Structure 1
Amino acid sequence: MKGFIFEELNGGASCRTYLIVNPRTREALIVDPVLELVPSYLQRLGRDQLRLSLVVDTHTHADHLSGGRELARMTNSVHAGAPQDVVQQPLHEGDVLMLGDLRIEVWETPGHTEDSLVLKMEDRVLTGDTLLIGATGRTDLPTGDAEAEYRSLQRLLSLPEATLVYPSHDYGGRTFSTIGHERLTNPRLRLDYEVFMRLMTSPRSEKPARLEEALAYNTRPRNAREEYVAASEQTPAFF
């Protein structure tokens, strides 16, 4: 389907949240929402009278509190993706999400986390924290696996060069890239297997500022009470 609506909702912040809309049916999907920004997402949906059908988390976030469960609750939509024992609808390799006639394919891309997912559309791919602009997701945090990430990245590199890349984080104010551009310029994608493995398994001292808080919140049992938590300063430690 041509002519779908695609927006980044966080105004260029390092955490990226995406809105995908079928304009004919007004069905919407939101990817990787941040808890503190849920009110702004609701305002955006209300502005154009959009019907949110799915909220997807591409992986278990370790640097911010996911707004997926709260947003789904407030809109009577379905929270999908990861963590699989937390969301209402776990997503798996080959699953297809439909917004009317708009098709979104799910890829499993473990590495940054064991539950990492990518959402593939006709001309673009939402890469979560698997492939970033000029970098890749780190693999030294809980459930990370450098070898699995190497394989996932090679799979992404098999996409056509013109495929647009929209990651869930960017710390340089960049909005998107392409597979071809990343293949040519991303330093980590230019490493051979052995060098990549040494780099990605080397100990790192810096951790996301909200690591323990985020993991505790984002892996809570499905029916746990949602509570807003004041935003805190985040550091670019997630890639």
Structure 2
Amino acid sequence: MLTRKPIFPGIIELNFQAGEVLGCNVYLIYDCDEWLLIDIGYEDTVEDFVEIIRQLDFPLSQCKTLVATHADVDHIQGLAKLKQILKTTVTAHPNAVKPLESGDTLVTLAEIEAQNLKLEMPPVTIEHQVNDGDVIKVGGIELEVWHTPGHTDSQLAFRVGDVLLSGDNIYRDGCIGAIDAHHGSDIKAFVGSLERIRDSDVHWLAPSHGPMFRNDKAFMNKTIDRVRGYLEMADFGTLAERWPLMDQWDDEVASGTLPEGLQLPS
């Protein structure tokens, strides 16, 4: 048997527990014998995680549900396999239901033709849907559900006391979850979700990738300012609200203005 190494009371991160990174962060929330998992990662590491859970002496029959933070393949490809092993249910945001139940390879980013990426996306039935303000109970522990859209339209975070299991919203280096129209990204919504996290009184952020870190306003503001800037940049194409450079170009074309030092030939 393994000695449990909770990162916070009632919360074990299975990569940290294993002493090696097997995939995305997988959080096991427990009280007494009842427990649930938040995310699972790829299908080929499911059995590794199940063995860790066995070695931690959690009864497999006591898994309350499997929770998907959102419908990206690197978080949920293994859901169908794990559900079958544990004989339990799956919980997700309503916006994640269709891509998960249909095994949609485009929305889940399992298939990116331009990068020659083609992964299987096994469909899985979602028994429980949760949204902002809902509470998931595990024994005496309560997980407050936050809907934090931006990275995807189904992105969830979960508050437990002064800890936020913060999904792909932000990482310790200030990076954020990928912005891509195919899986429902929304830059303005992303800014709102980051502001909500910044303005909350949670002390610790436990993301879906990488190490835990403090919720620091100056740090959060640096990322928020950068992401807000994407609303007026061409970097993310149709996800931007406007591109001020094009307004300037309209004016310069209308007035016949060239850059300083460049003159029309006579």
2: CA distance, partners of 1:80 / 1:21: 16
Contact persistence 2:24–2:74 (CA under 8 A): no
Residues 185 and 79 (structure 1), Cα distance of their counterparts in 2 relative to 1, 3 Å cut: same
Structure 1 residue runs of 5 or longer lacking an equivalent are 205-239
Contact persistence 2:25–2:39 (CA under 8 A): yes
TM-score (norm. length: structure 2): 0.65
Contact persistence 1:56–1:68 (CA under 8 A): no
Shift of 1:132: 2.1
Q: What is the aligned partner in structure 2 of residue 40 from structure 1?
A: 48
Q: What is the aligned partner in structure 1 of residue 34 from structure 2?
A: 27
Post-superposition Cα deviations, 1:27-61, rounded to whole Å, max 9, x if no partner, equal 11111102211112221222203321111110111
2: CA distance, partners of 1:115 / 1:76: 24
2: CA distance, partners of 1:75 / 1:40: 14
Shift of 1:65: 5.2
Q: What is the aligned partner in structure 2 of residue 168 from structure 1?
A: 208
Q: What is the aligned partner in structure 2 of residue 125 from structure 1?
A: 164
2: CA distance, partners of 1:63 / 1:39: 16
Q: What is the aligned partner in structure 1 of residue 63 from structure 2?
A: 52
Equivalent residue for 1:75, pick from 79, 86, 95: 86
Q: What is the aligned partner in structure 2 of residue 7 from structure 1?
A: 13
Q: What is the aligned length?
A: 192
Equivalent residue for 1:84, pick from 94, 97, 110: 97
Larger Rg: 2
Q: What is the aligned partner in structure 2 of residue 219 from structure 1?
A: none
Q: What is the aligned partner in structure 2 of residue 179 from structure 1?
A: 215
Contact persistence 1:57–1:81 (CA under 8 A): yes
TM-score (norm. length: structure 1): 0.72
Identity over aligned pairs, percent: 24
Contact persistence 1:45–1:52 (CA under 8 A): no
3-state DSSP of counterpart to 2:50: helix
Contact persistence 1:6–1:20 (CA under 8 A): yes
Aligned Cα RMSD in Å? 2.4
Shift of 1:15: 1.9
- What are the within-5 Å matches in structure 2 for residues 176-215 of structure 1? 176-180=212-216, 183-186=217-220, 187-191=222-226, 193=228, 195-198=229-232, 202-203=235-236
Equivalent residue for 1:18, pick from 27, 44, 59: 27
Higher relative contact order (CA 8 A, sep 6+): 1
Contact persistence 1:94–1:106 (CA under 8 A): yes
Structure 2 residue runs of 5 or longer lacking an equivalent are 1-7, 102-125, 238-266
Shift of 1:62: 4.3
The one-letter code matched in structure 2 to 1:121 is V
Residues 198 and 14 (structure 1), Cα distance of their counterparts in 2 relative to 1, 3 Å cut: farther
Q: What is the aligned partner in structure 2 of residue 234 from structure 1?
A: none
